[in-house]
Amino acid sequence: MQLKDALLEFDNAIFGEVAPRTREWYFSVDDEGNFRGMLGSLLNELGNVDVTEITITDLRNWRKKVFSRQTRYGGHRPQEDGELSPATKQGYIRALRRFFKWMTEEGIVENDLGQRMKLPPLPSQPPKAVDLADLEKLIKVAQESCSRDLAIVYFLADTGCRVGGLCSLTMDRLFLHEIKAEVREKGRGGYGKSRWVYFGADTHHALVDYLAERPYDKGNTVFLGRQGPLLSNGVYQILKRLAKKAGITGRFNPHAFRHAAARSWLRSGGNLSVVSQLLGHSSVLVTSQFYARWADNELQSWHNRLSPFNSANED
């Protein structure tokens, strides 16, 4: 099978399994017939070769050329971003590995050469969570704003759901008496992935107050904006407005609330497996790599609490 045909078949295979933007991230063809996405660069570099003739040397040469240039293919059109970030470099290799794994499973190629392409290391990064002190400020400002804004802040911080889950939440999937909700988010299975999220008393009260004021002639979506169902950018703009009023200079984007929830659960004694399931991850590796991250002062605090050689821990 030729590489172009294999890529098109791969694109067809993941249709409905991943979000549309993720498919485009892997591979796409623009209106001029140019190949885009992480795997589009593979076709651009190797040409439309027979996939069974691709060697590990070909892949290493592709990696060298892609990593050396200053063009990122992760989108509908390439963007000039300067030197590729470590995360983008990892993205290329992850896409390649998934593609070759799929070809091996389909019997298109015998050897999974992608597994021989190691992931480049990522630098140590600080936690991406909303600071707890900032969260308290956001809650205070939201209380002075409106019931909807307060419910949004509480729901994001308490459930750890993705912003897509909050925006797509409908009245028939919000179970106030059971203090849980069924959200549909992106992830394994695309945007149709459904999972349960749970919330506490404060979030429950905030939701009850908001729903008492929410107009019921605006459809089934729980969170509404001026023009109808609230979208992801609308949530961001709400948080941005609250953060500005609260004088917050740190993180406040919706995903930072998800990180904050994960860190809070871990601090409270939740093990990695439980936190992974609460976040809706398919693997604890994702939870460990991207969410269970601690700053130096936090690691020192953990060590002081856990070390058997700290006299302060003696009975």
Q: Are residues 180 and 272 in the same domain?
A: yes
Per-residue pLDDT at 168 exceeds 50: yes
Query: Which of 41-55, 108-122, 140-154, 280-294 is predicted least confidently?
Result: 280-294
Note the pLDDT of residue 311.
62
- For 204, the token pair is 């429950």
Q: Are residues 22 and 144 in the same domain?
A: no
Gyration radius of the chain's alpha carbons:
23
pLDDT tens digits, 12-65: 998 877 777 788 888 888 877 788 888 999 998 999 999 999 999 999 999 998
Note the pLDDT of residue 31.
78
Q: Are residues 104 and 166 in the same domain?
A: no
Q: Reduce the DSSP state of residue 183 to 3 states and report it.
A: strand
Q: Which domain holds residue 276?
A: 132-301
Q: Are residues 63 and 160 in the same domain?
A: no
Going by C-alpha positions, the residue among 204, 224, 206, 205 that lies closest to residue 214 is 224
Q: Are residues 112 and 164 in the same domain?
A: no
Across 101-112, average pLDDT: 94
Q: Name, in order, each residue with C-beta under 8 angstroms of 270's C-beta and a sequence gap of 6 or more.
A: 278
Residue type, 182: E
Beta-strand pair 28-29/174-175:
unpaired
> pLDDT-derived band of residue 107, with 50, 70 and 90 as boundaries?
very high
Write out the DSSP string of 27-45.
-EE-TTS-EESTTHHHHHH
CATH number at residue 28: 1.10.150
298's torsion region: left (phi>0), alpha (psi -120 to 50) or beta?
alpha
Please report whether residue 52 resides in a domain. yes
Domain limit, last residue, from 83, 116, 149: 116
Q: Are residues 145 and 242 in the same domain?
A: yes
Domain limit, last residue, from 81, 116, 151: 116
Quote the number of domains for the chain.
2
Note the pLDDT of residue 314.
53
Q: Are residues 139 and 275 in the same domain?
A: yes
> pLDDT-derived band of residue 313, with 50, 70 and 90 as boundaries?
low
Q: Yes or no: say if 266 and 251 are a contact pair by the CB < 8 Å rule.
A: no
Domain limit, last residue, from 116, 150, 168: 116
Question: Which run of H or of E encompasses 211?
Answer: helix 201-213
> pLDDT-derived band of residue 78, with 50, 70 and 90 as boundaries?
very low
Q: Are residues 145 and 70 in the same domain?
A: no
Mean of per-residue pLDDT scores for the chain: 86
CATH number at residue 279: 1.10.443.10
Across 240-245, average pLDDT: 96
